[in-house]
Every structure is written in structure tokens, then in C-alpha cells.
Amino acid sequence: MTGMKKVLCLKIALLFWVGPGLQTVMIAQSLPVIGKVVVEDPQFEKLVAKDGVVEVLAGGFVWAEGPVWVKGRQSVLFTDVPKNTIYEWSGTTGLSVFLTPSGYTGAGVYSDEPGANGLLIDDAGNLVACEHGDRRVSVMPLAKGGKRTVADQYEGKKLNSPNDVAQHPVTKALYFTDPPYGLEKKENDPKRELDFFGVYRVDGKGKVALVAGDLTRPNGVAFSPDGKILYVAVSDPERAHIMAYPLTAEGKAGKGKILFDATPMVKMGRPGLPDGLKTDVEGNIWTTGPGGVLVISPDGKLLGRIETGRPTANCAWGDDGSTLYITAHQYLCRIRTRTKGAGWR
């Protein structure tokens, strides 16, 4: 990245004591428009304009994660994991706190990443959250509130810290990852009950099944548009891989293969690791990774990059399905594309 291209002026709502009580006052704050589009293959220009920019919508977060578009609210929900908070941003009302605590409801300090991480709006319109501190996957009706635990253990042992979640487009089962990032001492935490970091499937009856148990740092999850392939991002600097697993009609996974190896990019010093990922209608994989967002074809070819110049956590489709919302370290951003998210409706 060559630096900031221009400055975007945003209005931020602050609360001040005015007269008899608290009132909202709008002030102007300058935030950058960052990044650039890097074309690695001519096919990429069919997906993103080469002069496209990453617009900053909100900033000042410790580690922004888990964006998800809520159609009924025309807004984005996303998490700040260290702050144990879910925020909401919309083009009409701006930024607000949606839920706190988001992932740890105990007393005192749990770890440096206690909050919710990956989010999902399921087919029923509920908010599904991967909760680090409470070590579970939860579901909450947006209209009514009140959480229910979807999964918090495997074979009687407590999960580590569920990280990201996706819903299968056909079976509707939930798939989630369980690395150690939410534990106080990470992989060396004495509270660990499982001796591996798994990828799991939860069926409609609540049964938790292991999909993969041989990955060092499983993180983001997504599916091909037809649901026949499961993609898993591995956030290991020595094995910075995007894995692909064939799925049976019942949702069981076959032997995985490395679809794309981002390890050389990590070794080049580009910030960040493979993390959250989504697919588009043509089956391309949009994964956060070294330097920003990497766009990879279904056969594993790097088509292009959306550079943010900072570690980038996750992404999600929004608006009419063609806007990619991105959580990039301290920022919530977006970029307009020429495609749409898989399964957009």
C-alpha cells in the first residue's frame, strides 16, 4: 500500500450533558479511505474495478471481526473481540452498540479476547455467534433477544473458543471452528479439555460431529455455492492455507487438500493471516489473508487482492449482495464489487 488516497469525512454521534440530560451531538471526524486493488489475473477485473477503493465506515476498534449483513435492519453487525461487544453500523444511523457483553458473561477478566468473534444470520433470521469467553456457539432471535446454546462441548469435553461459523446451503447444518485464540494462555491454557483444534458440524438435532481434527489453527469457514465443498482458513504462519474438503450429501467431509498456500506471502512480511472467508455466486473464494483480502478461483488460482495494509480479520456480503464489508484491524470498511455473494437472495 502506498498510503492514504484521500480522506473521508464521517459524522460520529457522541453523548454530552446538555441542559437537563444526555443528548446526542453529531461531530465530524476524518477517517481515511485506504487500500488499493491489485490485479493478479485479468479475470479479476470482472469482479472488482481496478480503481476500486476501500471506504472506511467506522474506526477506533481494538480488533474488529465477524461482520454480517442484517437485511431486515439494513445494517452490518460486527464484533470487537477484546471489547466483548457487538456493534451495529447502518448508512442512516451510523455506529451504535448492539450487544455487550457479547461472548463472556462471567466476572472479572477472562482473557485478551473474551468476546464474540464470527457471526451469522441463519435461515430463520437468528443471530448465531461464536463466543470466546463462554466457549460456545449461541443463537439469539434478533426480535426477541435471549440466547440458546447450540454447542459448547464435544464428547463431553468443553470446547476451546469457537471462532467462526457458516450454515450449509442445502442441509442447513452449522459448521464452526474451534482454535485456542479466546483462551487466556491460548494453546497452553490449563483450562483446555480437548487436545486438538477442530472443525465441527451441528445438525438440526443438536448433535456435534467432528469434521476435521488435524489442523493447527482452523479459523474461517465457508461453502461452495452448491454446498459440495467446505473451505477452511488456517491461521498458522507456518501453514497459512486455505483448505478444501469435499462433502457428502449428508454433510460428512472427505480428505482435505490445500487449495491455496499463502505462507510465502506471510514470509514476505505482508500483515495478517488467512482468517474469515466467503464465496461469490461463481464459486470464487474471498478470504482475508496477508495484506488484506485475497480472491481465489475455485481451482486455487489467485485472481487479485484488495490491499488494506493491515491485518484483516473477516468479510461479508451486504446491501444488494455486491458490497463486501471488511473488518480490518481497527476499521470497519467496504468495497463495491461487480459480483454477488453465494446464495444471495
CA atoms within 13 A on the CB side of 190: 0
Residue 267 CA to residue 101 CA, distance in Å, equals 37
pLDDT tens by residue, 26-58:
334 556 789 999 999 999 999 999 999 999 999
Residue 151 included in any domain: yes
Residue 148 included in any domain: yes
Residue 263 CA to residue 314 CA, distance in Å, equals 18
Looking at the predicted structure, is the pLDDT value of residue 280 above 90?
yes
CA atoms within 13 A on the CB side of 106: 11
Residue 277 pLDDT: 98
pLDDT tens by residue, 2-26:
333 333 434 444 333 333 333 333 3
User: Cα–Cα–Cα angle for 161, 129, 250, nearest 5°?
Assistant: 90
Instruction: Decide: helix, strand or coil at residue 343.
Output: coil
* 298 vs 144 pLDDT, higher one: 298
Residue 31 pLDDT: 66
Residue range of the domain that includes 164: 44-336
Nearest to 260 by CA among 282, 284, 228, 280: 284
Nearest to 139 by CA among 120, 155, 158: 120
* C-beta of residue 102 within 8 angstroms of C-beta of residue 87: no
Looking at the predicted structure, is the pLDDT value of residue 268 above 50?
yes
Predicted confidence band at 190 (pLDDT cuts at 50, 70, 90)?
A: very high
- Paired strand residues for 30: 9
Average pLDDT over residues 119-140: 97
Nearest to 106 by CA among 127, 76, 132, 87: 132
Residue 60 pLDDT: 95
* C-beta of residue 25 within 8 angstroms of C-beta of residue 301: no
User: How many structural domains compose the chain?
Assistant: 1
Residue 13 pLDDT: 41
Residue 196 CB neighbour total at 10 angstroms: 15
Residue 34 included in any domain: no
pLDDT tens by residue, 194-237:
999 999 999 988 999 999 999 999 999 999 999 999 999 999 99
pLDDT tens by residue, 230-243:
999 999 999 999 99
Residue 321 pLDDT: 98
* Eight-class DSSP state of 94: E
Cα R_g (the chain), whole angstroms = 19
* 324 vs 4 pLDDT, higher one: 324
Residue 161 included in any domain: yes
Among 18-27, 287-296, 307-316, whose mean pLDDT is lowest?
18-27
- Paired strand residues for 16: 23
Residue 343 included in any domain: no
Predicted confidence band at 186 (pLDDT cuts at 50, 70, 90)?
A: very high
Domain at 153, CATH number: 2.120.10.30
Cell, residue 47: 469482479
CA atoms within 13 A on the CB side of 73: 18
33: Cβ contacts below 8 Å, ≥ 6 apart = 4, 5, 6, 7, 8, 53, 54, 55, 56
Instruction: Decide: helix, strand or coil at residue 263.
Output: helix
Looking at the predicted structure, is the pLDDT value of residue 132 above 70?
yes
The chain-wide mean pLDDT, for the chain, equals: 91
Long-range contacts of 168-173 (CB under 8 A, 24+ apart): 168/223, 168/227, 168/247, 168/251, 169/223, 169/225, 169/226, 169/227, 169/342, 169/343, 170/226, 170/227, 171/203, 171/227, 171/250, 171/251, 172/122, 172/123, 172/204, 173/201, 173/202, 173/203, 173/204, 173/251
Residue 39 included in any domain: no
- The reported pTM is 0.91
Average pLDDT over residues 96-111: 95
Residue 8 pLDDT: 40
Q: Quickly tell me which residue has 467431509 as its cell.
A: 253
pLDDT tens by residue, 244-254:
999 998 888 99
Nearest to 44 by CA among 316, 331, 307, 327: 307
Residue 145 CA to residue 204 CA, distance in Å, equals 21
Residue 3 included in any domain: no
pLDDT tens by residue, 151-172:
999 999 999 999 999 999 999 9
Residue 28 included in any domain: no
